[in-house]
């Protein structure tokens, strides 16, 4: 088997470090490049120096240097950075795995357009467990279509900049789709003051930010006389890293197209 050459964006961040460590410990993949923002303290250092080892891959702010030998770029950064990387990858035929969240409609459209030329896995959460949970939510929503109020509660670390999380929004979209609703019309993202009775067709969201919470998501189906909770809790970013490598193997024989983790896991 020929190793897949994988580059990492945001290499000095928490997710970037976890990806580097996981790639080094995984057969069939090779760490080929590492990117970070110009001016970052880690620029020029070995990407695995934090492990006390030397990979020979230096962190660079230069896309041509960082992606010179890459088959695939894994990107968990910010929308503006990811879109810059996307343009370069399209021009140079590098596939992408995008775990970045917080894109607006224009950003999502740019990713969809790029997928006409390169293969992309785009998912707000790369965890295998989360994506199996999405399938369970689809089934639950169809069963609890009437007489149950739906609320989504998510918690993340204090440094997360977007809310609700991309995973919570995807959960809402999955549930709304199963119920034949439009999340843009039924989503409730804030409550304050005298709100009146709950609209039974709504899907509510609550956001918690604090400490070093990696990622907790719970969907509550509250009926009369019972309530059902479907939860996923992440205790380590390694789940996102291993899911990303599973996505990389999925892309190995793809030339173009937009995919998500449901495609990767064969859950469609």
| Token pair 């580059």: residue | 7
Cα distance between residue 86 and residue 9, in whole Å: 11
pLDDT tens for each residue of 33-69:
999 999 899 999 999 999 998 999 999 999 999 999 9
Q: Has residue 1 got a pLDDT over 60?
A: no
Q: For residue 160, indicate whether it is catalytic.
A: yes
Q: Which of 156, 192, 217, 233 is catalytic?
A: 156
**Under 8 Å CB-to-CB from 76, ≥6 apart: which residues?**
9, 10, 13, 15, 16, 19, 99, 100, 240
CA distances from 100 to 2, 95, 123, 167, 203 (A): 28, 15, 8, 11, 24
pLDDT tens for each residue of 151-206:
999 999 999 999 999 999 999 999 999 999 999 999 999 999 999 999 999 999 99
pLDDT confidence band for 268 (50 / 70 / 90):
confident
Over range 130-153, report the average pLDDT: 96
With beta carbons less than 8 A apart as the criterion, state whether 212 and 157 touch: yes
Burial of 70: CB neighbours in 10 Å, binned 0-12, 13-18, 19+? buried
Prior bond to 167 cis, omega within 30? no
Q: Has residue 228 got a pLDDT over 90?
A: yes
Domain residue limits, the chain = 4-122+237-264, 128-234
What is residue 3's predicted lDDT score, i.e. its pLDDT?
85
With beta carbons less than 8 A apart as the criterion, state whether 85 and 73 touch: yes
Considering only CA atoms, which of 118, 55, 62 is closest in space to residue 90?
Answer: 118
Fold identical between 4-122+237-264 and 128-234? no
Q: Has residue 2 got a pLDDT over 90?
A: no
Higher per-residue pLDDT: 145 or 3: 145
Cα distance between residue 99 and residue 124, in whole Å: 5
Q: Which of 92, 135, 157, 160 is catalytic?
A: 160
CATH number of 4-122+237-264: 3.40.50.720
Q: Name the CATH topology of 128-234.
A: Dihydrodipicolinate Reductase; domain 2 (3.30.360)
Over range 1-22, report the average pLDDT: 92
The pTM is what? 0.85
Cα distance between residue 182 and residue 165, in whole Å: 18
What is residue 210's predicted lDDT score, i.e. its pLDDT?
98
What is residue 36's predicted lDDT score, i.e. its pLDDT?
97
What mean pLDDT is reported for the chain? 96
Q: Has residue 222 got a pLDDT over 60?
A: yes
Over range 86-104, report the average pLDDT: 96
Cα distance between residue 176 and residue 186, in whole Å: 8
Cα distance between residue 110 and residue 82, in whole Å: 11
């Amino acid at each position: 088997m020929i190793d897949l050459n994988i580059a990492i964006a945001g290499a000095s961040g928490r997710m970037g470090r976890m990806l580097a460590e996981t790639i080094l410990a995984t057969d069939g993949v090779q760490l080929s490049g590492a990117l970070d923002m110009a001016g970052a303290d880690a620029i020029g250092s070995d990407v695995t120096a934090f492990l006390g080892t030397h990979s020979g891959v230096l962190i660079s702010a230069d896309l041509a240097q960082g992606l010179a030998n890459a088959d695939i770029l894994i990107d968990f950064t910010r929308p503006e950075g990811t879109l810059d990387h996307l343009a370069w990858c399209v021009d140079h035929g590098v596939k992408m795995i995008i775990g970045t969240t917080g894109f607006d409609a224009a950003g999502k459209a740019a990713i969809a357009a790029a997928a006409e030329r390169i293969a992309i896995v785009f998912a707000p959460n790369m965890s295998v467990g989360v994506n199996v949970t999405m399938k369970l939510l689809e089934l639950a929503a169809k069963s609890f279509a009437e007489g149950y109020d739906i609320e989504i509660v998510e918690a993340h670390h204090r440094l997360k900049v977007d809310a609700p999380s991309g995973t919570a929004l995807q959960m809402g979209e999955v549930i709304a789709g199963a119920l034949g609703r439009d999340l843009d019309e039924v989503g409730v993202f804030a409550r304050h003051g005298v709100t009146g009775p709950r609209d039974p067709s709504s899907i509510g969201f609550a956001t918690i930010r604090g400490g070093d919470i990696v990622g907790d998501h719970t969907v509550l189906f509250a009926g009369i006389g019972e309530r059902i909770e479907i939860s996923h809790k992440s205790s380590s970013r390694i789940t996102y890293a291993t899911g990303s490598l599973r996505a990389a193997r999925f892309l190995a024989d793809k030339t173009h197209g937009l995919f998500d983790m449901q495609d990767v896991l064969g859950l469609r």
